[in-house]
A and B are shown apart, each in its own frame.
Chain A
Amino acid sequence: MQVNEYKPLIVAFCCNWCSYAGADLAGNNRLNYPAEVKIIRVPCSCRVNPMFVLRAFQRGADGVIICGCHPGDCHYTSGNYFTRRRMALLFSMLDYLGIEKERTRVEWVSAAEGAKFAATMNDFVEKVTALGENKRLEDLRCKK
């Protein structure tokens, strides 16, 4: 193992009903994914404000992933449909500003998809690791 190997910081917003339960299931099944992924529980993916996403980058996150119920399965019937539109536009805008599009992702993970949760996180961490540190949306004041 290399010394000082770059470890990205990933913030994952998970909806309480599907994806957070999916993450729990990944745990129950002892499916490994990198510890760099830190989960924040929200009632529904539609609770995630674009400001939270930017805040995470400001504070030093290298990637932000939002997980919710599959379209049509939202506990609140329509929340994830709004998430889908909001994040589609936000991500497109970030890309437009030249920020690497691989740093943001929305993934639908059901409560039964523990394996998908782990696989998604593994893949996301790998992609963000390949990109390296977030320089384009960083706030130097927050770097030590």
Chain B
Amino acid sequence: MSSKNERLRDEILKRSGVNPKKCMRCGKCSATCPAYDEMEYHPHQFVSMVENGDIEPLINSKGIYRCLSCFACVDRCPRGVEPAKLVEAVRLEVIRKQGANHLTADGVEAFLDGEIPQQAIVSALRKYSK
């Protein structure tokens, strides 16, 4: 494990407030994830990858933008691990690296149509506005 990863891991854990050691590998997060098939790394993998400091692949993964931030995994996790917060923390890492938001709050309106569920809008704001 490279030292950079350890530093990154600690940063992500600090940012998210998540303790991945609490995970008991039950997979309920992945079982519950509505965006499961869209993500190359599934919520349960996410937790153990962060725990192992395997963060570069996560940063480079498209999956982190597929996560709907619906927090179903957070709600269902029996150990209170909160995988979605890790996803968010990784996203934030990318954003901080790039130094800009993908989307501003003002830009959200353009994407709206009648079909979009309320929650997606809230999630989008949660996700992109940092």
Q: Do chains A and B touch in the complex (CB under 8 A)?
A: no
B residues in contact (CB < 8 Å) with A: none
A residues in contact (CB < 8 Å) with B: none
